[in-house]
Chain A
Amino acid sequence: MDSSSRLSVPELPRCLPRELSPSERRALAATADVLVGTHPSLQRPSESARFHEALDRSLLARIDSFEAVVADASAILASPRGIEATLRELAEASPDSFHVLSSVLAGAYLILPEVRQAIGYPGQERRFARFDESAEQLMNGILDPVIERGPIFRQP
């Protein structure tokens, strides 16, 4: 083993193992369109330039399933039964495959700042507590009923 390699941190590649073809990107975006539906103020994944940037991040995060996700999306787009019907079949017949595919595509969509804003999620942020925040929330009598009931432990 290379002595400089890290033992306890996954070494994820910085770029996809291969370039996605335009048809593969189309398949992934079209599948995402069906999964996330429509929102009155948001672009669909296939209409959003930023979705593909987010998609690359998501695919890298699940690099273990990269080829499987791309192949599933391509097969879904090619299916004569249509995307939605084929997705439903996949969810029934192969829940593990559906889980990864839908996680990668929904996960990519949920990274987009405008989507986060629409669902009321600010994303990971640093929110240090005010020094008196705890006291303000707890020193208002809310603990009184617990204290009044007294000890609840068994003494040997």
Chain B
Amino acid sequence: MPSERCDVLVIGSGPSGAIVTHTLASRGFDVVCLEQGDWVNPSDFPANQPEWELLCEHAWAHDPNQRKLPADYPLDVSASDLTPVMFSAVGGASLFYGAHWLRLLPSDFRLRSLDGICDDWPISYDDLKPYHDEVDKFIGASGLEGDPAYPEGLTYPRPPHPPGPTGLRGAAAANELGWHWWPGANAIAVNKTKTLEPCARRGTCEWGCPEGAKSSFDLIYMPQALQAGAKLIHGARVREVTTEPGGLADGAIWLDRDGVEHHQRARVVVLCANGIGTPRLLLLSGGEAHPDGLANSSGLVGRNLMLHPNCLVTGYYDDAMESWLGPAGQLIHSMEFYETRPEHDFPRGCKLHLVPIPGPLTTINVHRELPFDAVWGDSFHGVAARHAGSMLWAANTEDLPEESNRIVLDPDLTDDLGVSAPKVEYQISEDNWKILRFAVERMEELHRVAGAAETFAVELDEDQPGHLLGTARMGDDPASSVVDSFGRSHDVPNLFIADGSVFVTGGSVNPTCTIAAIALRVGTHIAETADRQPIPS
């Protein structure tokens, strides 16, 4: 079923898709955004219910293979050390993200120049800064200026959330150790901001914000995009980006809820389907003319997958600290071990963050590694009561790009409409294991200095995070990259990518902040170069 041709077709409505859609619609372009999921209301989220921790174990699990909602597509993770967090809905996985809102550092863009590893990005910290500033202002990002982990000029439009008793306890420990820490920067409204409500500090951010305070991109950017005239089609599962005989993209085939095929025609196509969905779609596209997938002359589509392996240490303290008090979100963060250091036997490092623990069943679960009698029976109430005096240090570690870590099409697995599912092939490198172990030791140290009575470490948090990066990297050389610095495909000049796929390296800060700035830069570039944009006939 063919459609009217739109100016720009955006595939995916997560952070990047919402921003590109808004950027172009507000400049008068005719934009259609296709989203495979549909709307989720803040009142739907599990944290509205007292049994929310149980709801998060399955029905609202981070892992789509467990959750199996109609919008989810399956992932083959049999060859992966990690199970990525994904969520298909208007707003994408930002419904489940923690909204830690930190930019990449200047060094992140220059690993080749500084450390002789990987590749430099074709853009710099300064290139992205104005886009960051604009996004931060739009969403009302909260944080405190003056962080010495960043160059001067990083300001936030809203003040930070209070660190609370746990954050201050962690901060005092970092001070005692002489380590960097800073009040957490978060994309969570401290007060009413456009379509966002003020944070009520429930601490359940990673399972959906019942208050509508977190900047999930169904609540910010997408509403403004629709107001500006964009058309959002949800329940639209894209199967293929189509091309005309001349090689330009001319739209996409999508399947509705009943499996009926539609063809949305477009002058420009922008992929915003995340670091797994975007390479999947490219590999599904191109037909006989591109047997290795669309925009893949470099052979790099799907490769260099980076996932930021996480580790964590939960500490239990003898005094009550209202440990459930959010946001989570990060109360404080530390960049002390972010950069490459000569004394380390690994390149790069990790970003640490202190977060609350919102529910007591989680505390029971943390203790499960102990013998039966230490958790159950007459120990139970004592363990549950420890919840009030708990806090969690967690770390994103920097995994460097490796071509063998990749997304491919699974030869057997499909979604329920018969579209090939992605297979994740991802092995943690030896250097990355060193960073994970190092981070655990540092977080143990922070707890010890803070006076923890007991700690529980997880060297690899296998079902975190949802940082899906690098699978269609940007670069100046078409032989070693998929898109240019503005997200334009080297092979298909009216096909753009604006999500985490374009990262050259991943840093170890939570990436949505950078994805948002890149998306704004891509959208702005499409608008500013529209008069010379090649389009299909």
Contact = CB atoms under 8 A, between A and B. Distances in A.
Given A138-B163, A149-B148, A35 B380 contact: yes
A60 B368 CA distance: 23
Interface in B152-208: 159-164, 167-168, 171-172, 174-175, 178, 180-183, 190, 198-202, 204
Given A110-B360, A153-B339, A9 B106 contact: no
Contacts of A7: 36-38, 69-71, 88-89, 234-235, 257
B79 interface: no
Given A7-B257, A10-B69, A152 B325 contact: no
A76 interface: no
A93 interface: no
B107 A121 contact: no
The B interface, classified by DSSP as helix, strand, loop or mixed, is: loop
Interface of B: 36-40, 44, 47-55, 57-60, 67, 69-71, 87-90, 105-107, 109-110, 113-114, 124, 144, 146, 148-151, 159-164, 167-168, 171-172, 174-175, 178, 180-183, 190, 198-202, 204, 210-211, 234-235, 257-258, 320, 324-325, 335-336, 338-340, 358-361, 364-365, 368, 372, 376-381, 384-385, 387-388
B380 A154 contact: no
B361 A156 contact: no
Contacts of B90: 8
Contact of B44 (A9, A108, A135): A9
B51 A61 contact: yes
Contacts of A104: 54
16 contacts: A8-B40, A34-B376, A54-B51, A58-B51, A60-B51, A61-B54, A106-B364, A115-B384, A120-B387, A120-B388, A124-B52, A126-B201, A127-B201, A134-B161, A137-B164, A156-B110
Contact of A62 (B57, B88, B164, B368): B57
A106 to B, nearest CB: 6
A12 B45 CA distance: 12
B228 to A, nearest CB: 24
A49 interface: no
A147 B69 contact: no
**Residue from A57, A106, A142 having most chain B Cβ neighbours under 10 A:** A106
Contacts of A39: 381
A129 B164 CA distance: 10
